Structure formats: structure tokens, C-alpha cells
Amino acid sequence: MSKLISAVVITTVVAIGLANAQVPAKPHMSAMTNGAVDTATTSATVAAKATVTSNAPVGALNECYSAIGDQPRTALQSCLEGKRREAKSQMNSAYKKLEANTKEIDSSATVKALTSLRNSQKAFESFKVAQCRWVGDSVMGGSGSGDLLNSCEVDLMRWRTNQLAN
């Protein structure tokens, strides 16, 4: 049973990690300089870094690194907070629109659909908090933990907004 749980956890972490991977947008600087923690250099991490770096994902952290240029890291925090507020507002708008559209449907299943929507949103919020806390904690107290947590929340809220809107 523990092997099965370990396999599921590893698969989930890899899938989510690759989907939301954030690499320093300043490749000439070390991860430590950018506020992330260097990981052990094994053949697996080198391969993973090469894959992620060659296809650097568009995410809140990379967007803010690009936006702040050579400004101090404190500008990064401000950028991420702005993106977090914007993503939360967009997600809440998409939720309210979907909820309103669902309420307009004249069906005996409307109440059930609304209950499921609310439960889904609550489950998403719980997942977002737990997942992003893990992402932040995974740098073992590094100075970039808050940045990683905020960028994780932005990226997950953007994903959720897309799910609610489509």
C-alpha cells in the first residue's frame, strides 16, 4: 500500500511540477541568487532542468522576472501580489458568471449542479492552499519560498479560471 501511495505521490508531483515548473528567468544567475534553492545535481535533476529550461513555461514567476528586469527582488514580490489579486478577481468573476448561468437553467438538476459547483470550488481552494504551501515549503525556508507560493497560487487560479470559463 505504501508503495502505491508513493507511486501516486511521485506521479502527481512530477505531473504538477512539470505543468507549473518555474525556472529562474535570469539564466546567467544561479538559482540561489534568484531566491530559489539549488537542488542536488544528479543526472535526473540535470535532465529535468534541461527539459524545463529549454521549454521555459509561461507562469507568474517568469512573467514577473521578465517584468522587473534588473530591479531588486522586492519588486518581484510586488509584481506577484498584483498578479495574485488579478488572478483571484478573474477566477471569482468566472465562478460568479458560471453560477449565474447555471441558476438560469430550468431543470430539476440545477440545485444539484450548483451544489457540485460550490463543492468543486471549495475543494479547489483547499487543494490550492495545500499544493502551494508545499511548493513554498519545498525550498526548505529559502528566501524565495513566498515568491514560489504566490506564483503557484496565481498559476493555479489561472488554471481554475480557464476551467470555470470553458
- In tens, the pLDDT along 34-90 reads 444 433 434 433 333 333 344 556 799 999 999 999 998 889 999 999 999 999 999
Supply 13's cell numbers. 508531483
156 C-beta neighbours (distance < 10 Å), count: 24
pLDDT greater at residue 72 or residue 27 = 72
Count of the separate structural domains present in the chain? 1
- The span from the CA of 73 to the CA of 65, in Å, is 9
pTM for the model stands at: 0.66
For residue 39, give its domain range: 2-165
Indicate the average pLDDT of the chain.
76
Nearest to 20 by CA among 166, 128, 151: 151
